[in-house]
Structure 1
């Protein structure tokens, strides 16, 4: 008979996210296990390796980003406010500049690994798809938008670029910077 899991994947992935924020690409499974309050073998058995854990983190980041976008847009007053709130929500959870830089430091590792690069592509596609849906809802307020597909891609480029730039040259809060740059694009499309 198989013993039920007493330690959830969510608990282990939350611990892994916290640890990668502290240590960047040099994190260890031992650090993740300590953060989760479990034995190293529990983490290794669940994910197989550090690479397996990173793949699971990629999948979870995608799920979490889309969920965050949907929650943020649902709580907004208008479709345009929903689009703005969703775009800001994607990376606002990166934390302070050092934590953001550590999380984004994994990006280099993801890009050179074919499996994680594909998962990163799925992440960008999922975020872009949600942005496209929200752009369609806000089109009446954005008469100058280039169309949902191109507008979504442009907004994705802005939020990706801002998050990387801010982690290297942090001034103020990431959310404020995202709002300012997203608003600069959206204001141009309102004309």
Structure 2
């Protein structure tokens, strides 16, 4: 009979997210294991490799964004909640570095495409598909621009930009 797992996948993926937030794409499986307080073998046995960890994190992010956006009372809150974890310049820059690495890998790029498609589809529940696409693109672009020039708060900048688009949308809609 197999021994029950005492270390959850969620714990390992939370450690991975923390390591990406603090180190960016240069992290190792050993870094994730140290953050989780487990052996490298435990992480490798569960996910196989750094690539396996990143795939699992991407799949978890798909589920999380779907649930998070569905739970939000409106499109503005949904977007702000989605980007809240990046409201720190170092964290944003490290995640942007990881994004660049993910884009270079066909499998991770496809999962990233799924993430953005899910985000847009869920945002469309709060508004039209066109508005969801515009606001999703605005949020992504703002997050990238802010990570390069982090003046003020990312969330404040996003809120200001979202509010301007929504005001214009309501005025013209």
TM over 0.5: yes
Name stretches of at least 5 consecutive residues in structure 1 with no aligned partner: 74-81, 136-147
Q: Verify: 1:99 aligned to 2:91, yes or no.
A: yes
Q: CA deviation at 1:66?
A: 2.4
Matches within 5 A, 1:129-168: 129-135=121-127, 148-168=128-148
Q: Which residue of 2 aligns with 1:110?
A: 102
Runs ≥4 in structure 1, deviation > 4 angstroms? Answer: none
Question: Does the aligned pair in 1 maintain the 2:87–2:153 contact within 8 Å?
Answer: no
- Between the aligned partners of 1:67 and 1:175, the Cα distance in structure 2 is 20
**Alignment partner of 2:161: what SS?**
helix
**Alignment partner of 2:64: what SS?**
helix
Q: Which residue of 1 aligns with 2:161?
A: 181
Q: Verify: 1:59 aligned to 2:59, yes or no.
A: yes
Q: CA deviation at 1:71?
A: 3.0
Matches within 5 A, 1:69-88: 69-73=69-73, 82-88=74-80
Q: Which residue of 1 aligns with 2:15?
A: 15
Deviations 1:111-161 (A, max 9, x none): 1111001100110011001111111xxxxxxxxxxxx12111111101111
Change over 3 Å in CA distance of 1:13–1:95 after alignment to 2: farther
- Between the aligned partners of 1:27 and 1:95, the Cα distance in structure 2 is 21
Deviations 1:148-188 (A, max 9, x none): 12111111101111111111110111111110111111010
Change over 3 Å in CA distance of 1:42–1:17 after alignment to 2: same
Change over 3 Å in CA distance of 1:36–1:152 after alignment to 2: same
Tell which deviates more after alignment, 9-18 or 82-91: 82-91
- Number of residues of Structure 1 aligned to a counterpart in Structure 2: 171
Name stretches of at least 5 consecutive residues in structure 2 with no aligned partner: none
TM-score (norm 1): 0.86
Q: Verify: 1:124 aligned to 2:116, yes or no.
A: yes
Report the aligned-residue RMSD: 1.0
- Between the aligned partners of 1:119 and 1:86, the Cα distance in structure 2 is 20
